[in-house]
Amino acid sequence: MTRYGSNPTHVGTADIGCPAERSSAAVSRRGRFGFVLVLAILSILLATSCSRKTESAPLPKPTAFGAAIVESSGGKQTAQTGSLLPQPVVVQVNDAQGTAVAGALVEFSAAPGVAFDPPNGLTDSSGQVTTNVSLGGMAGRYAIVASTTDKSHKRVELKIEELALGYQQTLGRHLNDQYCERCHNPESTVERVSNYDNLEVKPHPFTEGDTLNKINDADLTAIISHGGPALNKSALMPAWGNTLSKSDIQALISYIRAISDPPSRNAGPVYTKN
């Protein structure tokens, strides 16, 4: 959407049409003056609207330069399209020896639609910059670039991938939290103790792309609705076909496909800065 919105030539076309029609009347001095006036106003408006777009807060001046930029935390998170990632993204700038550098400038950039708060900053005393990230409006993977410059003003970049979930995948995530995760996610939290270790036959974590990408949608649907034995797998996987509706199961599969790592075949493009 932003691609079209940012193109200022669209804005004026309809308006410019009107004065052109007016010229069909006998061209009086006043008419011509008016025409010029309208053109001038339009161009001023256009210029101001353009300049407003490019105007942004000045970058802070770096007091130090690093040699490398690394991710501290916040990569591979999921959020709904357009929303904030649950945790901020934290990156660290190091020098050639691997020690943190304070006062280096880090800038964040990504595909249109992705917003950073703040979009740039100087590293703190531990060499880190923290930013809150809102993903774009399209479901899919987003590549975020954090960049800094080294002493010779060469750009050093770090790519971090995040995942935006559409409606269907959000629904799937909710169903996963309620029905699947307790067994399929080996990680425990205080509120949600994992049952993974208690199972004789281990279930596949849904991020396990190497295995799950080889199972097609029809087979996944069969396992979920009729249980493990439907594909000669463990009966510890119960049949959910009477509990979950067809569209629920589709939503679950779309979620499983979205979080798969490595990505599934139909995962679509990674949104990057053009």
What is the contact surface with another protein in residues (CB under 8 A)? 1, 3-5, 7, 10-11, 13-14, 17, 20-21, 24, 80-84, 86, 113, 117, 132, 134, 136-139, 166-168, 170-171, 174-175, 178-179, 182-183, 190-191, 193, 195, 197-199, 234-240, 242-243, 247, 250, 254, 266, 268-269, 271
**Residues contacting 14, CB < 8 A, separation 6+:** none
Residue 156 CB, shortest distance to another protein, in Å, is 27
Q: Which is nearer to another protein, 129 or 237 (CB)?
A: 237
Question: How would you classify the pairing of strands 128-134 and 115-117?
Answer: antiparallel
Q: Which is nearer to another protein, 60 or 268 (CB)?
A: 268
Residue 69 CB, shortest distance to another protein, in Å, is 24
Q: Which is nearer to another protein, 14 or 218 (CB)?
A: 14
Residue 255 CB, shortest distance to another protein, in Å, is 11
Residue 141 CB, shortest distance to another protein, in Å, is 11
Question: How would you classify the pairing of strands 105-109 and 78-80?
Answer: unpaired
The answer to whether residues 150 and 156 touch, using CB atoms and an 8 Å cutoff, is: yes
**Residues contacting 104, CB < 8 A, separation 6+:** 62, 63, 64, 65, 66, 93, 122, 123, 127, 148
Residue 227 CB, shortest distance to another protein, in Å, is 8
Strands of the sheet with 115-117, listed across from one edge: 68-73, 89-94, 128-134, 115-117
Residue 273 CB, shortest distance to another protein, in Å, is 13
The answer to whether residues 125 and 158 touch, using CB atoms and an 8 Å cutoff, is: no
Q: Which is nearer to another protein, 94 or 213 (CB)?
A: 213
Closest CA to 220 of 231, 234, 210: 231
d(CA 111, CA 270): 9
**Residues contacting 60, CB < 8 A, separation 6+:** 105, 120, 121, 122
Q: Which is nearer to another protein, 97 or 198 (CB)?
A: 198
Q: Which is nearer to another protein, 6 or 126 (CB)?
A: 6
